[in-house]
Amino acid sequence: MKYINRRKLLGTLFALPFIGLTTSALAQSEVTISHYFTGELGLKAFGEQMEKFEAATSYKMKNSPVGHEDFKTDILVRASGSSLPDVFSYWAGARVQFIADSDSLKPIDQMWNEAGLDQIVAKTVADSATMYNGKRFLVPFNYHYSGMFYNTKVMADAGITKMPTDWNGFLALCKELQSKGITPIALGSKNRWPAQFWFDYLLLRSAGPDYRAQLMAGKASYDDPQVKQAMGMWKALVDAGYFVENANANTWTDASDQVARGDAAMTLMGTWITGYWNGLGLVPGADYDFFPFPSIMAGVPSASVGPVDGLVIGANTTNPKGAEEFLKFMVSDTGVQAAWSKAQGALSANVNVDASNYNSVMLKAFETVKNSDAFAFNYDLATPPPVAEVGLSMFARFMDDPSGVDEIMKQTAQDAAGAFNE
Amino acid sequence: MRGLSWTPLIKASMERDKRLWRIVLLTPPLLVFSVLIVGPLLSSFYYSFTNWNGFSSSYQFVGLSNFQKIWTDRLFFQATVNTIIWMVSALLLPTLLGLVLALLLDSKVRGGKFFKTIFYLPICLSAIVVGQIWIWIYQPNWGLLNTLIEEITGERFRYAWLAKPDSALFSVIVAWSWQQTGLSMVIYLAGLTAIPSEILESSASEGATTWQRIWYIIIPLLIPSTVVVIALSVINSLKGFDILYIMTGGGPFNSSDTLAMHMYNESFKKYLIGYGSSISVVLFVIALIIIGIYFRQLRKFDQIYGQ
Amino acid sequence: MFGYKKNNDSGIHSWPVVIFIILLILSILFLAPTFGVLLSSVKTTRDIALGELWKIPNELYFGNYVEVLSNPAVGQYFVNTLLVTVPATFASIVLGSLAGYVFAKLPFRGSEILFLILVSGMFFPPQVILIPLFRLFNSLGLIDTLWPIFLVHTALGIPICSLLMRNFFSTIPAEVREAAILDGANEWQILTRIALPLSLSALAVLATLQFTWIWNDFLWPLIFTQSDEKRTIMIGIVNLRGQYTVAWGVQGALSLIASLPTILIFLFFQRYFIKGMTMGAVKG
């Protein structure tokens, strides 16, 4: 310690401002990003979109992809150390709400208005996905729609020509398939979340989007009659043997494979299944198609369910301008949106993306969402994370043994109420 | 050596030297340990008195309310039971199997090196791939296990090992033991090399049978290795996370949760860092109690077997 | 060694055959899962997804290996993992030996309790200190470098290394040390010239185990590194899991390649497990 060279000390002090200048200059041109688009296709495709941004602007992206589940841990850890990246991908809905409430995000109202994104982002998605606590925080990068995807050959062989639009028609369809020796519905609920679409649609179609919103917000209870009714309908399906056995043992890809092979007829899943099936060599329209979840009660508004993947900006970003430019570019550049949605089997929230970008099935999904009365986020994105855990476990328990449904729902109501109090 | 009388002066200077060396030798490891382990651990325990969710820059002190919550948390009790089951299994399965393998391999049987490698191989694989391959073994429709059972019995067998709450935990423990056995084996083998061959040969020439040799000489001399093996197995079971995470994630619906997994779910999935930390505290206290008991037993053993 | 004799009427010379058969059966059982990984690496992701994993393939698909080996990032991942694993293995063993020697040969009042505290460092899941450690390294500006991974693995390895080394050092009789002191040696010389050489088999075991654990870990690299150039091989495997699908075949191939170093380390250190290494000291 005695040997601090005075000259060296002076030199360092002198140099500090310059170092400061250069690092801030670097910061000006670099944007850090973390996202969960991994896997062969996702990584490559996202990398390509980033390159387009870098080519169009003077910014450099510092990329940090993390696998889906681990991403949740990673973002939390980074937030705890106040070192969130400039930009990161996140699921619109209750999860963004959660971190927005914790002041972890930077509002983007100014950028939104200046870039005229009201004209670019589809209204149904924009309202529900981008606005929180009265401010805008997120741009939708892509979204998915959840529908009843089926194997066209299996349906044709069973002599089914018209897809059901209401509940009775759906029940008749299942009965018909079963009589021909085909398992009607495939479900792979090993990771719990695939089962949520059943809960979502059954509740939406019978009790309506308003009631569901209440339940998601903790203002209604899981042992309400509306929930009981929806669960009862679900139970009826399982008891009749319309679901594959051991649903909890299969992942959603296992279930999708069952439909692809013809072992089951249909599965309620998001549009990403098209990306998966295309990868297996199936042809949209010829080998597979979908129909919207049937209506259950007349007069109930038709809602579409699906997740919205968005991009958000960390609250203490060191490069707000660069981050905002990135968000703006990613959502408004039609080249990026078209390429990305195609690679992901997703839908673009950008209204300027040409419909010809979609294959026949995706186009149908696009139209369905456009024509539905509301767009709702799927269960684990619609309710706060602690409650989502309770609900997801409930679905798995139910699929394991539906006979205990009353007991299960009572327990769930209790657990959910406790989770909301956190 | 013992008969020599050291003069008080020499003794004192020896003591001083000893003290010096204690400090010199212990400081580096203890320093690293304190800064990187003890500090963060205490930090984490501190969070258990708050309601932090990881994202907010502010949180409140909630005193002992997190700990009170543990009492009424049914998932916590399930997790505790599961952890105990795992620990007991860890004491039995990989430890005994590892010992048996080490004894078999120590006999200079032909191809010993080849066998050793095969049994050790599982450890070289990461938890990610071990978890995944065992998922494929347990797969109800085309997995190896059910396929074999169907071949043997000729009947349709589609039991979902990992999806049924009754079998999920144990299925994971089997997979974990498969990996862990090689570890026990390796440590026992190292311990066996420390047994002087002269003792064994002289006992053989005195007419001791193989079983007598194993039971009365080898096993007692393997106590130090057993100490390590048991410690490692129990500790790994307490931590048992990666493979559980990959195979079931604590499911189906929390039925295979261990305390470590429960802590992870509460902290990182529900964003209840405060509550998760309080679970860690309890986990740690349980572990300390076990370790205390274990070492007390060890001291008794030392007294019986000398050294 | 069982010390079976050649002419013994209890039929002991049939032991080798019986042992061999038992080992053969066990090893086949043991090998099955590893064989499964091998199978997954030579099949297409599609085949595996369709449930064909356990069928013996008619033809082998090497595309997975091609994909892995032609990816330049994989080489960088390997280098990073090596840069972290070797130093951390070495450092934790060194520090563990220092501590183990003191606890075994130079105990003092309260050293039992101190040892307990040290060993208790093994007793909790690492997720517990995830956040505090991140905050620590973040404030030091070390995030997205390889330093935190190295430091944390070193620290986490100290308990087990101390435990094992203390055990082995305690099997060295006190007379040996006292004789050395009489000859004028100080503790450091005793540790390095006498105790450590006697504990080679323990050191070999530790080196193998530590290397394997550190190499296969994915938690710390996940949290402490962010850019691709700093990632380790395990993160490479984890990132093969897409948002909705997993590239099974590639994962299998990469996993096997990633486990080669740990297998090689084991094969290298194996010869130190053979008997006789620790002999000599007991006889004085």
pLDDT by residue, tens only, chain C of 284 residues: 444 443 333 334 567 788 888 888 888 989 999 899 899 899 888 788 777 888 888 888 888 899 888 888 899 999 999 999 999 999 999 999 999 999 988 888 888 889 988 988 887 888 889 989 999 999 999 998 999 999 999 999 999 899 888 878 887 888 888 888 888 888 888 888 888 888 887 888 889 889 998 999 988 998 899 888 889 999 888 887 766 667 888 888 999 999 999 989 988 887 765 433 333 222 22
pLDDT digits (tens, 9 = 90+) for B95-140: 999 988 888 888 777 777 788 888 888 988 888 889 989 999 998 9
- Measure the CA–CA gap between A167 and A233, rounded to whole angstroms: 10
Residue A252 resides in a domain: yes
Contacts of B34 (CB under 8 A, 6+ apart): none
Residue A311 has pLDDT above 90, yes or no: yes
Instruction: Say yes or no for a CB contact (<8 Å) between A385 and B271.
Output: yes
Residue B6 has pLDDT above 70, yes or no: no
- Measure the CA–CA gap between C44 and C63, rounded to whole angstroms: 8
Residue A84 resides in a domain: yes
Residue A339 resides in a domain: yes
The long-range contacts involving C8-16, CB below 8 angstroms and separated by at least 24 positions, are C10/B209, C12/B210, C15/B107, C15/B210, C16/B107, C16/B109, C16/B110
CA distances (Å), C26 to each of A415, B181, B253, in order?
Answer: 46, 12, 34
Sequence spans of domains, chain B? 1-47, 66-305
User: Residue A6 — very low, low, confident or very high, per pLDDT cuts 50/70/90?
Assistant: low
Q: Please tell me the distance in Å from C207's CA to the nearest CA on chain A.
A: 29
Does A97 touch chain B if contact means CB atoms closer than 8 Å? no
- Give A33's strand partners: A63, A87
- Measure the CA–CA gap between B38 and B30, rounded to whole angstroms: 10
Q: Are residues A260 and A336 in the same domain?
A: no
Q: Are residues A219 and A351 in the same domain?
A: no
Q: Are residues A140 and A68 in the same domain?
A: yes
Instruction: Say yes or no for a CB contact (<8 Å) between A80 and B249.
Output: no
The count of domains in chain A is 2
Residue A14 has pLDDT above 60, yes or no: no
Instruction: Say yes or no for a CB contact (<8 Å) between C143 and A34.
Output: no
CATH superfamily membership of B66-305: MetI-like (1.10.3720.10)
pLDDT digits (tens, 9 = 90+) for A170-212: 999 999 999 999 999 999 998 899 999 999 999 999 999 999 9
Residue A10 resides in a domain: no
Instruction: Say yes or no for a CB contact (<8 Å) between C237 and B21.
Output: no
Inter-residue contact A301 to A67 (CB < 8 Å): no
User: What's the whole-number mean pLDDT along residues A258-287?
Assistant: 91
Q: Please tell me the distance in Å from B208's CA to the nearest CA on chain C.
A: 10
pLDDT digits (tens, 9 = 90+) for A74-88: 899 899 888 899 999
Q: What's the CATH code of the domain at A65?
A: 3.40.190.10
Q: Are residues A285 and A156 in the same domain?
A: yes
Q: When comparing pLDDT for B4 and B84, which is higher? A: B84
Q: Are residues A78 and A140 in the same domain?
A: yes
Q: Are residues A285 and A344 in the same domain?
A: no
Task: Please report the domains of chain C, with CATH numbers, ordered by start residue.
Answer: 12-64 (no CATH), 72-273 (1.10.3720.10)
Q: Are residues A214 and A261 in the same domain?
A: yes
Instruction: Say yes or no for a CB contact (<8 Å) between A79 and B54.
Output: yes
Residue A24 resides in a domain: no
Q: Are residues A370 and A414 in the same domain?
A: no
Q: Are residues A138 and A164 in the same domain?
A: no
Average pLDDT along chain A: 90
> Which domain does A85 fall in, by range?
32-144+306-376
Q: Are strands A30-35 and A87-91 parallel, antiparallel or unpaired?
A: parallel
User: What is the pTM for the complete model shown?
Assistant: 0.86
Pick the range with the lowest mean pLDDT from A97-106, A381-390, C97-106, C275-284: C275-284
Counting Cα atoms < 13 Å in the Cβ hemisphere of B261 gives 30
Q: Which residues of C touch A81 (CB under 8 A)?
A: 131, 134-135, 138-139, 143
Residue B247 has pLDDT above 80, yes or no: yes
Does C1 touch chain B if contact means CB atoms closer than 8 Å? yes
Q: HEC profile for A168-204?
A: HHHHHHHHHHHHCCCEEECCCCCCCHHHHHHHHHHHH
Radius of gyration of chain B (CA): 25
Average pLDDT along chain B: 85
pLDDT score recorded for residue C281: 24
**DSSP structural state of residue A105:** B
Q: Are residues A89 and A228 in the same domain?
A: no
Q: Are residues A337 and A288 in the same domain?
A: no
pLDDT digits (tens, 9 = 90+) for A328-378: 999 999 999 999 998 888 999 898 998 888 999 999 999 999 888 889 999
Q: Are residues A393 and A281 in the same domain?
A: yes
Local structure of A141: helix, strand or coil: strand
